[in-house]
Structure 1
């Protein structure tokens, strides 16, 4: 059990947010980013956060803000599978964007069908990898235009939820089979750790036996007992990135009675509002980042002390 809340050694501070950061690169138009960083303090590390299917770079604000308040520069790209881009690409679907209910498409059968096709379309997988690579290549420019480029290089992690967890595990070293192109791997040595929130297992999106053999770096894999995959898989499938990766700095957290949204990481989540779950995700994420981006011994000890609870959140917790 671990009833002691994790507290970073970084003194929390106000957060600056910008939704207008632009980065030129390989895509047709400048890449628009949402960035958050600690106000009046240099960031200690960078987190690239990848959104899920239909979501966008402005989502996950609560988790992002908490990480930024604790010293991280958090950057959110928006990918072509966000619902606004899908609405523009497929006008016949008649998607009506609702700022107060960004996930209304979940209740529209034709839109859900199209989104399912997008999720399983290799062109969308590849577009995400191009954008993340573009961001990594231009990260110094992004830092320079926001908080200012740090005097010394700082480490970077990648994190993501759902489709974003898929993107994250690709950059952490997961190998996939791309139809008509064969095996592909996107592991990037500029990334020091990865957080996978509701990730994917075998037999979907090119993942299969052996996909995780080269995922050798630190990884935090989080899911819930009410979570599941796009093809009806249960939560055990969501644990495969942990179980099938080599041992060494790997963590698995399965939150009891948590669904796909893990307690709600942003008010836009359809099933948000379970604070003990969302707080557990935040504390796990922050401790993991402190442990493996900053080599913080206190963070590693806090992770090592977890057994079956984080505060009031019951969970299954494993490490290898």
Structure 2
């Protein structure tokens, strides 16, 4: 697709598709959303939800992406409120690792997932895979793009990137861990990232009114993934947006403190255009870049823009 499709497209969704997950303590539940078309070679987005959410959330993104020709795979992580894992559960300190393993398990089991939806088998393009996520989910997704966790001595930990992933969308991704609040430093040791090796092309989305309780810095904290990662990155800064970025978690999500349908629509358009461009085969990249360039130009020329876009 070279342009964003504004015509309503039927989307099919299946849940829960259950993947066996030995050692996790819970089988992995996944929601699959796909366009109800006969198109083949569909690109794939694996989406990681924020803290406490589940595969049932982020419909404004999953529905839109599926309508634009993507297959969207949404695992439910162990921190989901739908699972009710108690804080004292022995898995709790390792949930951040389980989250990363969940995304990789989804990639490992693409055959099983596509066979679970009637008419979807054989239609996934395994050469065009992106990861995306919001908040903690963005941190989870970023590790597959090359971000690493620093240990107590500031040394980058293991490389958990995945060569199957060739693009990413990181929504409200937290920044460097050098100015965490005492609570965050004590309870979230994994919030000490290094973006030096996050080389995979990605669109980073931040709100300029997103004041986190986990850092002593201001909203610019959420621009660190763009500032401190290598090139092939884009940064969409949304004016007035808080952590929910206008309401991406759900159409009527109680957590949304800055409800703004126009802002959500902009995120839908730009993320879809970016992913179509970033995931396009090399021999069709010039034509598929059309929607991304057009979307970037439209935002730049808007007399009353909802945000600004930077590209490096």
Return the TM-score normalized by structure 2. 0.82
- Residue 220 of structure 2 is matched in structure 1 by 236
Structure 1 residues 47-66: aligned runs within 5 Å: 47-66=45-64
How many residue pairs get matched?
285
1:214 aligns with 2:193: no
Gaps of 5+ in 1: 1-5, 92-113
CA change 1:230–1:172 in 2 (3 A) is farther
Over aligned residue pairs, what C-alpha RMSD do you find? 2.8
Contact 1:53 1:82 (C-alpha < 8 Å) held by counterparts = yes
Supply the distance in 2 between the matched residues of 1:301 and 1:88 (Cα, whole angstroms).
Answer: 44
Most deviating of 221-230 and 257-266? 221-230
Residues 1:18 and 2:14 aligned together: yes
Out of 175, 187, 191, the position equivalent to 1:201 is: 175
Structure 1 residue 230 displacement after superposition: 3.6
Compared with structure 1, are the counterparts of its residues 310 and 156 closer, same or farther at alpha carbon in structure 2 (3 Å cutoff)? farther
The residue that corresponds to 1:107 in the other structure is none
**By how many angstroms is 1:158 displaced?**
0.2
Q: 1:17 to 1:151 in 2, by over 3 A?
A: closer
1:129-184 Cα offsets, whole Å, 9 max, x none, are 11111111111221122221227644110000000010011111001125699712
Whether 1:259 and 2:259 are equivalent positions in the alignment is no
Q: Give the Cα–Cα distance (whole angstroms) in 1 for the partners of residues 310 and 224 of structure 2.
A: 13
Q: Answer yes or no: is the 8 Å Cα contact 2:44–2:124 preserved in 1.
A: no
Cα distance, 1:311–1:42 mapped onto 2, change above 3 Å: farther
Checking the alignment, whether the CA contact within 8 Å between 1:280 and 1:311 is kept in structure 2 is no
Contact 1:12 1:71 (8 Å CA) reproduced: no
Deviation by residue 1:246-266 (Cα, 9 ceiling, x = unmatched): 112x10011101111111011
- Secondary structure of the residue that 2:82 maps to in structure 1? helix
CA distance 1:269–1:318, change in 2 (3 Å): farther
1:170 is aligned, of 122, 135, 143, to: 143
Indicate if the aligned counterparts of 1:261 and 1:269 stay in contact, CA closer than 8 A: no
List alignment gaps of at least 5 residues for structure 2. Answer: 181-188
1:100-249 equivalences in 2 (<5 Å): 122-146=93-117, 147-150=120-123, 153-178=126-151, 183-203=157-177, 205-206=189-190, 208=192, 211-232=194-215, 233-248=217-232
1:298 is matched with which residue? 290
Per-residue CA deviations over 1:54-84 (Å, capped at 9, x if unaligned) read 1111100121001001111001000111123
Partner of 1:318: 310
Tell me the TM-score normalised to structure 1 length: 0.80
Aligned equivalents of 1:122 and 1:219: distance in 2?
Answer: 28
Aligned match of 2:272 in 260, 279, 286?
A: 286
Instruction: Give the C-alpha shift of residue 24 in structure 1.
Output: 1.9
Hey, what does 2:255 align to over in structure 1?
A: 270
Relative to structure 1, the CA distance from residue 269 to residue 50 in structure 2 (aligned partners, 3 Å threshold; closer, same or farther) is: farther
Q: How far apart, CA to CA, are the structure 2 residues paired with 1:42 and 1:12? A: 16
